[in-house]
Structure 1
Amino acid sequence: MFSSELDILSHCFSENETEQEELIDGILIKRIEHLPCKASTSIDAIGYDHENSILYVQFKSGGTYRYFEAPLSLWGRLTTTTGSIGRLYHQIIKGKFKGGQVSNLI
């Protein structure tokens, strides 16, 4: 079941994606260029599964990480920050939530 979600995430992270946000299998996806934050040199997109409280972070290097038990308020901070989303990621996410890299996403 989860591998099909990964395939769907892979599709919505494609370079041809023009939508500002997309809801696929319960995961809301937003590309960084459509958020109010400063342009990021490391993060390409973020996603949030509201039903399961899972945050996804897609890096420009191609790696995607998912973080479990991520509160909705965290998603709100990421999608509304006008500062550096990379700095915010390092301050409030990295090393603070269970999770890890999702293999074979792209």
Structure 2
Amino acid sequence: MICVRSSSINAVGYNPDTNHLYIKFNNNPKTYTFYNLPFQIYNELRAAASKGRYYHRNIEGRYKGCYLAISLFYQSAVFVDYDQCANIFRLHWHLHYRW
């Protein structure tokens, strides 16, 4: 991920092999992952004068995604959809916090 100048977005990243966009917001420790997002959208987000406005107008609600507060733990994982992402999070929670 690369840091960007924005009042709402801290960093963005893109995986061209999976077409996943990763966004880290300034006010949230979670990394959001969006699926099947064209590379052009990622480039436009990076170039936008207002990245937050671009996100709200062109990404939010248009592309399926999820977030993981523990995303660094799963760096190599590939999440296909929200349900799979949620299942992996539940598995991690069960294995590490079941006490």
**Could you say which TM-score interval applies, normalised by the shorter chain?**
0.5 to 0.7
Give the alignment's Cα RMSD to 1 decimal: 1.4
Greater C-alpha radius of gyration: 2
Q: TM-score, normalised by structure 2?
A: 0.66
| Cα distance in 2 for residues equivalent to 1:100 and 1:94 | 11
| Bigger RCO of structures 1 and 2 (CA < 8 A, at least 6 apart) | 1
Give the structure 2 partner of residue 84 of structure 1. Answer: 50
Q: When the two structures are superposed, what TM-score results if normalisation uses the length of structure 1?
A: 0.62
Q: 1:64-75 alignment to 2 at 5 Å? A: 64-75=31-42
In the alignment, the residues of structure 2 paired with residue 54 and residue 68 of structure 1 have an alpha-carbon distance, to the nearest angstrom, of 5
Give the structure with the larger strand fraction.
Answer: 1
Aligned residues of 2:12 and 2:22 also touching (Cα < 8 A): yes
| Contiguous gaps of at least 5 residues in structure 1 | 1-28, 34-39
Runs of 4 or more off by more than 6 Å in structure 1? none
Counterpart AA for 1:31: C
1:60-100 CA-to-partner distances (Å, cap 9, x unmatched) read 1212110000001101101222x110010000001110111
Does the residue aligned with 2:71 lie in a helix, a strand or coil?
Answer: coil
- In structure 2, what is the equivalent of residue 43 of structure 1? 9
Identity of aligned residues (%): 31
2:27 aligned with 1:97, yes or no? no
Count of aligned residue pairs for this structure pair: 71
Q: Which has the higher helix share?
A: 2
Residue equivalent to 1:30: 2
Where does residue 52 of structure 1 map in the other structure? 18
> 5+ residue gaps in structure 2?
73-99
